Structure 1
């Protein structure tokens, strides 16, 4: 896919300022106070996403909203290819509750 991983130190605005700022704003506006349950919390995230992208001008975009300047990629999305691992690596399944399963057996 032509994507390379570039590591930066977490919480370092000088290295990734826009992204760090978005997360700060997300945390401040969508998690304080937290939703009473997962459905309410997801609704808060959706409301933030809508406001952030369509209702809030961004200084870096000359006071336009991201939805106003977004253009879709001309490159078609072909899905994610199956990763290839070295023969000596083992793959595990992580369930929704965080349990690891190796060879279809639960690990404790």
Structure 2
């Protein structure tokens, strides 16, 4: 099982507090809540690695605003 899915499963079963689970998995509470929220909205695909690449290309030199 993927480590992110293990984290979500532990959260959902009420195994421990969010703070202690985040410490155990080495993530911030903000990230923990983000992963749990994505799982609740999108299911297992919500916790998969996402691209960090910008959604729009850089502004080209010489382009007019």
TM-score by length of 1: 0.20
Q: Which has the higher helix share?
A: 2
Structure with greater Cα Rg: 1
Between structures 1 and 2, the one with greater strand share: 1
* Highest RCO, 1 vs 2 (Cα 8 Å, sep ≥ 6): 2
* TM-score, scaled relative to structure 2: 0.30
